[in-house]
Amino acid sequence: MSDRVCYIRRSDRGATLKGLRLLSGHTDDTWNAGASIDPILIEESIAEGARWVHDRLEANAAKTRTLSILCLDPDGAVCSWVKADDADLSLLDATLATGPVEYDPDSLEEQVHSGASDRFPRLPLELSFELLDPDETSTGSRTAVMAMPDVPGRLIKDELDALGIRIDCFTTIWHTIANVWDPGAGHAAHTEQRIVSSDSPIVAVLVIDPQDARLIWTWSRMGKLIAAGTTRITTMSSEHGSMALIRNEDIARVCADWLGWSSQLGVAPSRLSCIGKPAQIPVEDEQNNDHPPLGLNTGEIGAALAQAWPEATIDLVEHDDPIGETLRKVASGQRAGSIVSLSALSNRPVRAHRSMYRWGAVAMVMVSAIIGLIGYQFLTQASTINKDTRRIENQRMTVLNEYDPEMIRSLSPTMDLQNKLDQMRRKQGPLRVAKTKPILEELETLSYVFGIPGIEIDNITLSTTTVTVTVRVDDITQAEQINQSLEAIEGSHLDWRNMTPTNRGQQIQATFMARWVDGGSNS
């Protein structure tokens, strides 16, 4: 089964849809748009053309909903060279969008001309840039860049996508010509097997397009496009349609372009192919004298090419419809080489991408909702925990206040409660007289520890159960040394439990707490 190829014909520097041509291996259908340049009518014309393509595909016996190739004509497109350092598509796009930079005559810096912005059409947001294959040119030479106005291609893709038509490849007639008429294109697969062909010259193909009155030329090696261009020609109408009139000036102009490209890329074609069938107009005067006809025939075109480009092999292929024949060969799958697809059109989002974005957004909303629900649950649990904590704290304060109001101000209520519990247990036993606490002895012992210079004693509190000493020191290290000294006292009746430091301006207030051991009482 043959593929379906759609060729887009445009006008007005590639901004207006002129017509569509749908080809397969056995069919060739044409649709012509109106001549209006009204933007609203242009949009309607593109929608009408997309529906025509949809209807033609549906009318096919296979009822396929796939276009193998959508091919753009070269109207408004420009292929030029840039420096290797300037071969950045985003940089070129920005340069053309901002326009030329005005030079200040009073500036001391030298004015620099890149020249790239002068060779490309200044159509911001309407152009897509493609770098052509630099590997087939001379090392260190210029890089070829193709600037293609593709607005009709974008709109047709959107319309066809809305109608459910999928497009496999977006390309230009330049890439298609290089793939079809370059004899080495069929051997491109050998490069993957590391087989080097002994005959892989650069081929220049010159295609005559009488329908749109232009010569289309390409340079390629093994089907890979290196450079391309177009030249306007004169056409004449006949009963069989438009016929191209090729003159020596047209061949000279094309060869002059080739010389310019050869000097920039460092390579030149050694094989020329001319595809098409030119017309000739006989010239007669009143005396019926014979004059050479206007226009060159195929043989004369070959002779002109041989004279302008000597030592090159020349192939001449006559065909009334060279563009149609080129597209038909691609549709029938006669060429083994793959056609390069335009990245700007290929990467343009379609319905599948938009559906993916929508489902991705729905998934993100669902994930956000789940995260919000989990956060709300955590917040509710935290609020419940805070309420329970406050309730337990209030209960503790109430119990302590009912038992002993002094406990509320205690620094260690657990220790005090433990002491009171011990007292209650002792009261239930035999009556014993408690020993007198060795207070003076312990104070004398503490004086050795706290009598060191640099220590200020704020408070010493002694009770029947605990001893609390509050001092001021210069730093935390000194407070820790005091705590270690208290714990190292041998024969003391105090069990020093903890030390609590607190910042007080430039000093540290340290509180030391101890409990009387059994050796200090009769209990």
For residue 23, give the nearest of 332, 470, 299 by alpha carbon: 332
| Beta-bridge partner residues of 167 | 67
214 close to 232: Cβ distance less than 8 angstroms: yes
Q: What is the mean pLDDT of residues 58-70?
A: 80
pLDDT band, residue 288 (cuts 50/70/90): low
Which CATH number fits the domain that encloses residue 441? Answer: 3.30.1360.100
Token readout for 70 is 């959508």
DSSP characters over 210-254: TTTTEEEEEEEETTEEEEEEEEE-EEEEETTEEEEE--HHHHHHH
Token readout for 297 is 């025939």
pLDDT, residue 126, reads 74
CA–CA distance, 413 with 418 (Å, rounded to integer): 8
Tell whether 402 and 297 lie within a shared domain: no
Tell whether 49 and 154 lie within a shared domain: yes
Helix (H, G, I), strand (E, B) or coil at 123: coil
Sign of the four-CA dihedral 331, 336, 342, 346: positive
Tell whether 32 and 171 lie within a shared domain: yes
For residue 513, give the nearest of 496, 494, 490 by alpha carbon: 496
Spell out the long-range contacts of 34-38 with Cβ–Cβ below 8 A and sequence spacing 24 or more.
37/12
Q: Would you say residue 363 lies in a domain? A: yes
Tell whether 305 and 366 lie within a shared domain: no
Q: Best-predicted range by mean pLDDT among 98-112, 226-240, 273-287?
A: 226-240
Tell whether 375 and 435 lie within a shared domain: no
Beta-carbon count within 10 A of 516 CB = 23
- Give the pLDDT confidence of 460-512 residue by residue, as tens digits: 888 878 889 999 998 888 888 888 888 888 888 888 888 888 888 888 899 99
Token pair 């004369």 in the structure block, residue: 300
User: Please, what is the angle between helix 39-59 and helix 151-162, to 10°?
Assistant: 50
Q: Would you say residue 450 lies in a domain? A: yes
Q: Quote the number of domains for the chain.
A: 3
Last residue of one domain, picked from the residues 330, 348, 366: 348
Tell whether 162 and 22 lie within a shared domain: yes
Q: Would you say residue 104 lies in a domain? A: no
Tell whether 254 and 288 lie within a shared domain: yes
Last residue of one domain, picked from the residues 302, 325, 348: 348
- Give the pLDDT confidence of 316-328 residue by residue, as tens digits: 999 989 999 999 9
pTM: 0.65
CA–CA distance, 488 with 481 (Å, rounded to integer): 10
Q: Would you say residue 381 lies in a domain? A: yes
Tell whether 319 and 361 lie within a shared domain: no
CA–CA distance, 155 with 56 (Å, rounded to integer): 19
Q: Would you say residue 223 lies in a domain? A: yes
Question: What torsion do the CA atoms of 10, 11, 17, 19 make, to the nearest 10 degrees?
Answer: -60
Token readout for 390 is 């406050």
Tell whether 343 and 360 lie within a shared domain: no
Distance from chain centroid for Cα 492: 77
Q: Would you say residue 418 lies in a domain? A: no
Q: What is the mean pLDDT of residues 302-312?
A: 91
φ, ψ of residue 482 to 5 degrees: the values are -65, -40
| Beta-bridge partner residues of 511 | 470, 500
Helix (H, G, I), strand (E, B) or coil at 18: strand
Tell whether 49 and 66 lie within a shared domain: yes
Q: Would you say residue 52 lies in a domain? A: yes
pLDDT band, residue 195 (cuts 50/70/90): very low
Token readout for 11 is 């006008």
Tell whether 341 and 365 lie within a shared domain: no
User: Please, what is the angle between helix 476-487 and helix 439-450, to 10°?
Assistant: 140
Q: What one-character DSSP code corresponds to residue 183?
A: G
pLDDT, residue 65, reads 83
Tell whether 157 and 299 lie within a shared domain: yes
Cα angle, residue 89 at apex, residues 86 and 90 outer, rounded to 5° = 100
Q: Would you say residue 105 lies in a domain? A: no
State the residue range of the domain holding 136. Answer: 5-95+113-348
